[in-house]
């Protein structure tokens, strides 16, 4: 027919399927500009909205009523008044499908606005309030009205105390992931109540909190916990880690870096109880990788990532890791003493699936180590060799020739590399 288009034969169902295959934001924008029908299909299929300016928020929410994720992290001007206007003047269809709300750094929002949002979004499962430094117990209490929450991030909400945490723990019993990083007012009391109420917790971050070993006695009772991050906990020692040996049977990931009173003895306790660990970060915990710890690491057959930053490590350690940890895809050796060409060669001979290697400030390695990496780890994606002054353009040539998937390389202060080597 005159004036008809080939696109007219495409049903809405087919257009929706095509639109769902487009992931890139620039491609999505091009799709919307093709014609009005494509723009309409985009409005009913779009599930994620990141608003850059608050004055466009009202128009965008009206245009995209079926979003599941709303990101307001770059809209610091959003406040209680903005939320009140949204919920009173616009259609509330966008609230009925919303599952994830990102409010990181939204410092203008307070407890009244949070409570309005929590009550208005019945399907809300995830809220990110990280770096809202002024948030306290009233905001935590307001958030708890979203009783279906499964994930909450409260990183650096400095005024949240055990009282606010208790509100969340009591009302949000289905919580699975919680981050309390830098919530300095949280104590053992709050963690104990959390562990008694939120039995479905799978991921918990208590980094930099002044918790004692008592908290880890409580955490050990979490039967479904898979990931525990406790970076920089200054009051925890090996006794706290011993509680984990017989608890948390599903634990797969543990970060204990910069816990100054944790030693290899504590890590051995964790390994004995969790031979299925996938990720272990013990950077800057001890001065030397002991033979006893290495002996127990033989049981970690499924280990995928390990970080040992700051420890003294010998060639024999690399041989043990290479022989037993065949599944390793990431290793962190930043500022480790004793890292040599021989050790790296032994490591990569067995761990051929390595994708990320951090050799920052490993001053003894040369082009020989880089050549061994390039020859064995063809799938390498990231290599950090900052301040490795003995590496030259010859090593980089090997990387460029064999590691075709390489995306990131850190050459900061590599004085042996010249313009020719920067491929």
CA distances from 120 to 84, 99, 135 (A): 11, 12, 20
Report whether 342 contacts 366 (CB < 8 A).
no
Distance of CA 17 to the CA centre of its chain: 30
Model pTM? 0.90
| pLDDT at res. 37 | 63
The pLDDT tens digits of the residues spanning 1-16 come to 455 565 666 666 676 6
pLDDT at 307 over 50: yes
Chain segment 220-278, per-residue pLDDT in tens: 999 999 999 999 999 999 999 999 999 999 999 999 999 999 999 999 999 999 999 99
Q: Are residues 173 and 201 in contact, defined by beta-carbon separation less than 8 angstroms? A: no
The rounded distance, in Å, linking the Cα atoms of 185 and 338 is: 40
Whole-angstrom Cα distance, residue 58 to residue 78?
12
- 382: β partners: 356, 408
Task: List the structure tokens of 44.
Answer: 């009913």
| Residue pLDDT, tens place only, 131-143 | 999 999 999 999 9
pLDDT at 64: 84
Provide the percentage of residues in the chain whose pLDDT is more than 70.
91
Q: What is 287-423's CATH superfamily?
A: Ribonuclease Inhibitor (3.80.10.10)
Residue 10 Cα distances to 6, 20, 42, 173, 190, angstroms: 8, 15, 15, 46, 57
Highest mean pLDDT among 33-42, 173-182, 406-415: 173-182
Nearest partner of 303 among 289, 288, 320, 286, judged by Cα: 320
Q: What is the pLDDT of residues 353-392, one digit of tens each?
A: 999 999 999 999 999 999 999 999 999 999 999 999 999 9
| The pLDDT value given to residue 423 | 46
Q: What is the pLDDT of residues 61-116, one digit of tens each?
A: 888 888 999 999 998 889 999 999 889 877 788 899 999 999 999 989 999 999 99
Tens of pLDDT, residue by residue over 148-199, are 999 999 999 999 999 999 999 999 999 999 999 999 999 999 999 999 999 9
Q: With bands split at pLDDT 50, 70 and 90, how would you rate the model's confidence at 123?
A: very high
Of 27-31, 306-310, 401-405, minimum mean pLDDT range: 27-31
């Amino acid at each position: 027919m005159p004036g008809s288009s080939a696109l007219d034969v495409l049903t809405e169902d087919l257009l929706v399927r095509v639109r769902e295959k487009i992931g890139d934001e620039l491609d999505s924008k091009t799709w919307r500009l093709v014609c009005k029908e494509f723009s309409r299909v985009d409005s009913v299929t779009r599930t994620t909205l990141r608003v850059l300016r608050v004055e466009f928020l009202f128009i965008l929410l009206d245009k995209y009523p079926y979003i599941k994720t709303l990101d307001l992290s770059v809209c610091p001007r959003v406040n209680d008044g903005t939320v009140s206007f949204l919920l009173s003047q616009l259609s509330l269809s966008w609230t009925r499908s919303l599952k994830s709300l990102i409010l990181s750094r939204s410092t203008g929002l307070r407890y009244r606005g949070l409570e309005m949002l929590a009550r208005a979004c019945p399907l809300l499962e995830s809220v990110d309030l990280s770096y809202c430094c002024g948030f306290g117990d009233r905001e935590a209490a307001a958030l708890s009205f979203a009783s279906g929450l499964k994930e909450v991030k409260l990183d650096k909400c400095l005024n949240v105390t055990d009282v606010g945490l208790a509100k969340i723990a009591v009302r949000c019993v289905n919580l699975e992931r919680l981050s309390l990083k830098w919530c300095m007012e949280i104590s053992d009391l709050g963690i104990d109540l959390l562990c008694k109420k939120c039995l479905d917790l799978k991921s918990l971050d208590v980094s930099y909190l002044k918790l004692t070993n008592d908290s880890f006695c409580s955490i050990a009772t979490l039967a479904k916990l898979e990931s525990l991050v406790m970076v920089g906990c200054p009051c925890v020692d090996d006794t706290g880690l011993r509680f984990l040996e017989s608890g948390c049977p599903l634990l797969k990931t543990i970060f204990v870096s910069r816990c100054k009173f944790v030693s290899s003895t504590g890590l051995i306790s964790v390994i004995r109880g969790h031979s299925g660990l996938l990720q272990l970060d013990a950077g800057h915990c001890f001065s030397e990788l002991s033979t006893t710890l290495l002996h127990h690491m033989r049981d970690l057959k499924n280990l995928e990532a390990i970080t040992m930053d700051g420890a003294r490590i010998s060639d024999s350690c690399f041989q043990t890791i290479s022989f037993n940890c065949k599944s390793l895809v990431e290793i962190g050796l930043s500022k480790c003493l004793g890292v040599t060409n021989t050790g790296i060669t032994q490591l990569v001979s067995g761990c051929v699936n390595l994708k990320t290697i951090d050799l920052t400030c490993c001053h003894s390695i040369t082009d020989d180590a880089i050549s061994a990496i390039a020859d064995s780890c063809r799938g390498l994606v990231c290599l950090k060799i900052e301040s490795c002054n003995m590496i030259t353009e010859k090593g980089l040539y090997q990387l460029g020739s064999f590691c075709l998937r390489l995306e990131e390389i850190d050459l900061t202060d590599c004085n042996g590399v010249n313009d020719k080597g920067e491929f």
